[in-house]
Structure 1
Amino acid sequence: MSSPLISAAELSSLLGQVTVLDVRYRMGGPPGREEHTTGHVPTAAYVDMDTSLASAPSDPVDEGGRHPLPDPDVFVAAMRSAGVCDDVPVVVHDDWQGRAAGRAWWLLRDFGHAHVRVLDGGWTAWLASGGAVSTGLVTPMAGDFDGRPGTLRVVDASNVAGVEVLIDARAPERYRGDVEPIDPVAGHIPGAVNIDTSRNLKDDGTFRSPEELRDLYAAVGAVPGADVAAYCGSGVTATHDLLALAVAGVDAALYPGSWSGWVGRR
């Protein structure tokens, strides 16, 4: 695959040849399952962020963060239930311009799936393209996905501060510590630079070109061969920056605990 992204037009031409996952989720937004039943890409099975793409956080939140990585057995079972097979390409879509779909994209690749792409622009782009719409829940035939985690790089609280180029994907005001609407402490990890996820996107909600993204990240030192990692508030939207970096040809690690895990350390 030349890109981790797929356009609505290309996905439309491949329906029936790929497994489509609807992972709609938006912090503070409506429940994704309800949105899915009212309209989704044909054949797309719904996958829930909180139960399938993350484990339940501790109370109070500890270094695992607000969206800890899922238990491997739970994640694999969820992917099988959604129809994911080892040898069939997967396309993931959301309605948050890739900020939730990026999490599923990252997890599937970390668990060894070789062919995963994100619908560029998500549900909005699909509708704008005139794509067909299905309603109701989809119950696909069970897949045979049999992955295990560990394919991709991660960092943790013990080494994240030593990353050469550490990228904070949150909004600038949260990075600066001006406001913190969710976590108990405001600010950012020492040494981190800020590229919030909105900077990855064009006005229509699709990703910028590889050249534009390459320039954006090169400005903070995130270039091919550099030691790069990304974090956000809970480890979800950081994968949007990782997706943009992948489009730009830059390999980067994820700090899953992110800011919520950093401040939740005991």
Structure 2
Amino acid sequence: MSFLQRLFSGKTHRIFKWLATDMHSHLLPGIDDGSPDMPTTLHYLTELEALGYQKVITTPHVMRELYPNKPNDIKALAAKVNEEITAAGLKIKLEASAEYMLDDGFDALLENDQLIPIANRYVLVEMSYVAPTLNYENTIFKIQAQGLIPILAHPERYNYLSMNDFERIKSLGCLLQVNLLSLVGYYGKHTQAMGQQLVQNKQASFLGTDLHHSRHLEALKGISSHSKLVRLIENTEWLNAKL
């Protein structure tokens, strides 16, 4: 039995220690469709620490119409959460970035230096689940022109994209982040198949929880029972631990 199989078998305690950092979640209280309040945020962080995460880079939505969150507001709220982390005696570290919708407001944010990059170099972006963003390839180039590296969040959840599209996106210099819960069928069989294929083909560079609510948390705890998932990911080198 391999190290990771022993780590995952029959228990949930610190099952993600090897991954070290979660770089996609919605844990800042009351700022988007994630954690509604500070007690819930602290509960989620306590549970993530118990699952083995040493760092969380939380990524609230930034959408022009629905969640027009500003960098200063995100940073100020993250500072408050860190004060509560210290007061609660948690060891987990929290940093804040954002998940940016590629909408008609994104270019202005990019041009006016209004982004909060992950680890000062990566920008997590998403598209609508209905249709791709127009000229998204050009936006990828614009992000790179600013010296940043784009990461496409949960590509497996965009039903209009094919494996050929993913290869094209990767060739443009955009990295891919797969949701852990996609790999166990949380979002459906099609999404699961696409996510697993991205991992099998070593096209994904990051894994994320995309944690929004308690149902996500309970599903994450259940990953320990998925032996096929262990075999799928144990030989893959993820960039999470380098953040």
Above 0.5 in TM-score? no
Q: Normalization by structure 1: what TM-score?
A: 0.27
Higher relative contact order (CA 8 A, sep 6+): 1
The answer to which structure has the higher helix fraction is 2
Q: Normalization by structure 2: what TM-score?
A: 0.29
